[in-house]
Amino acid sequence: MSEATQICPQCASEQNYFDGTFTVCLECGHEWDADSANSSEELVVKDSNGNLLANGDDVILIKDLKLKGSSSVLKKGAKAKGIRLVDGDHEIDCKIDGIKIMLKACFVKKA
């Protein structure tokens, strides 16, 4: 399959596999959509200060965010490393404090 010969955009490893939805790197665990990685159309996402964000960037929360359906709060200044940009109403897919969440770009700034 062509998906197995792709290079990981995070660590440049060729050791990866396709799990039915995403291509997953065996070395760093990074997941990406092979179809969107091959498309010539780039997703343009800007942070709260107007800086362009890209896949793999680190971002910092600019305000406290209450998680919907939970009593947890993500504190201002919390850092998300290695974000993934997605198309939809929430532009950023990331992990903060071990919690996988989707964020709007207006609540973060580039680190």
**Using only C-alpha atoms, what is the Rg of the chain?**
15
Average pLDDT over residues 54-74: 93
Question: Would you kindly state where each structural domain of the chain is located, as residue ranges?
Answer: 1-41, 42-111
Was domain 42-111 assigned CATH 3.10.290.10? no
* pLDDT per residue as tens digits for the range 13-49: 888 888 878 888 888 888 877 665 554 456 789 999 9
Q: What is the pLDDT of residues 72-90, one digit of tens each?
A: 899 999 999 999 999 888 9
User: What residues contact 12, with CB distance under 8 A and at least 6 apart?
Assistant: none
Measured between its terminal Cα atoms, the distance across the chain in Å is 37
Q: How far apart are CA 1 and CA 49, in angstroms?
A: 41
1-41: which CATH architecture?
Single Sheet (2.20)
Contact 53, 110 (CB under 8 A): yes
State yes or no: pLDDT of 95 exceeds 60.
Answer: yes
Instruction: Tally Cβ neighbours within 10 Å of residue 13.
Output: 14
- The helix (run of H) or strand (run of E) holding residue 18 is strand 16-18
